[in-house]
Amino acid sequence: MIYTVTFNPSLDYIVSVENFRLGMTNRTKSELLLPGGKGINVSIVLNNLGISNTALGFTAGFVGCEIQKRVSEMGICSSFIEVENGNSRINVKLKDIDGTEINGMGPNITEDNVKTLMNKLDRLLENGDFLVLAGSIPSCISGSIYRDIMEMLKNRGVMVVVDATKDLLLNVLELKPFLIKPNIHELGEIFGKELKTRFEAIEYAKKLREMGAENVMVSMSKDGAILISENGDICQAAAPSGKLVNAVGSGDSMVAGFIAGWIENNDYSTAFKMGLAAGSASAFSQQLATKDEILDVYKRAFGS
C-alpha cells in the first residue's frame, strides 16, 4: 500500500483576472477550486494512474471538511485527522500574475494530534509499503517530524519518499530514504551554490546519495531531470516537448510517476521516465495530469 502525508493541506482557489489593478475591485474570468498540498497531489496523480493509495494528514474546520469531500469525490481513500482549533488553509493563486499566491496559515496542530498521526503510521505501515512525506510543515510542528517518523519505521522495510527542502530533507538522509526529489534550485540551496547545468546537478545529487539517500531525482524544469540511482547509474533526459500551462503540482506528479513506474517494473530507468512524463504532463495541463495524458507524453518522449 502507498500512504501520503500532507501536514498542511489546503483548498486552492485558482483564479484568472484580466488587467489586475492594485487597490481596485477586480473580477475573475475563470475560477478553479481544488484540494491541495504536495502529498494530496501525489495521491491524486497515483489515483489517476489507477494505483490505490491512502492520503493522511491534518484537516480542520469547514475548509477541512471540503478538502476531505473533494478528495473522496476523486475516488481517493483518506484518513485525515481532524484538528479542533482553526481552519485548514485556503490558498489564493493568481495564475495570470507571475505565479502570485496568498497562502493561508492553517490550524493549530497540537502534540496530541501529532501523536495520533504517529500511532496511525505505526499501526498501518508494513514491509513493502511506500510512505510519501511531502512538503513543508506548519510552525507548530517540530522540524524533526520527518526524521521522527522515519526513526519509528526504521528496519520495517518501508520505502520512504521525501520531497522537502533544506533541514527537513537533510535531517533524514542518514536514515536512507528510498527517494528524494529536490529541484535544481533546492539542490543548490542545500550546498550554498547556484546550479545552472545538468552536469552540476549530477555532481551535487551524487553528494546527497553519499549522505544516505538511496535514489536522488532532480527536476530541472524545461531542462528535464536527472536520477542518480542506488546502484550508481545516472539517468538523464531533456524535458518532453509541450506548452507550459500550469506548473503547480508538476514536481508532485513526478514523484507519483516515479513510484508508479517502479511498482510496474522494478526498474529505475522506467521509473525515471515515468516520473518525467508525469511531471511534464501535469505542466501541460490545467489540472494534474490524467493517465492518458501521462502515457501520451511518455510515448512521445520515450517510445512505447
pLDDT in tens, 67-99: 999 999 999 999 999 999 899 999 998 877 766
pLDDT at 294: 97
What integer is the mean pLDDT of 4-26?
A: 91
The top-level CATH class assigned to 178-304 is alpha beta
- CATH 3.40.1190.20 location in the chain: 1-18+37-167, 178-304
Mean pLDDT check: name the lowest of 40-49, 115-124, 194-203: 194-203
Answer with the residue of higher pLDDT: 22 or 203: 203
Decide if pLDDT at 122 tops 70: yes
* Full-model pTM: 0.93
- Locate 58 and state its grid cell: 491534518
Q: For 156-185, give the DSSP string.
A: S--EEEEE--HHHHHTTGGG--SEE--BHH
- Asked if 294 and 51 count as a contact pair (C-beta separation under 8 A), the reply is no
pLDDT at 98: 66
As a residue count, the chain comes to: 304
d(CA 55, CA 76): 7
Q: 1-18+37-167 has which CATH code?
A: 3.40.1190.20
What integer is the mean pLDDT of 282-291?
A: 93
* Edge-first strand listing for the sheet containing 89-94: 28-36, 10-17, 89-94, 100-102
Which residues are known catalytic residues?
252
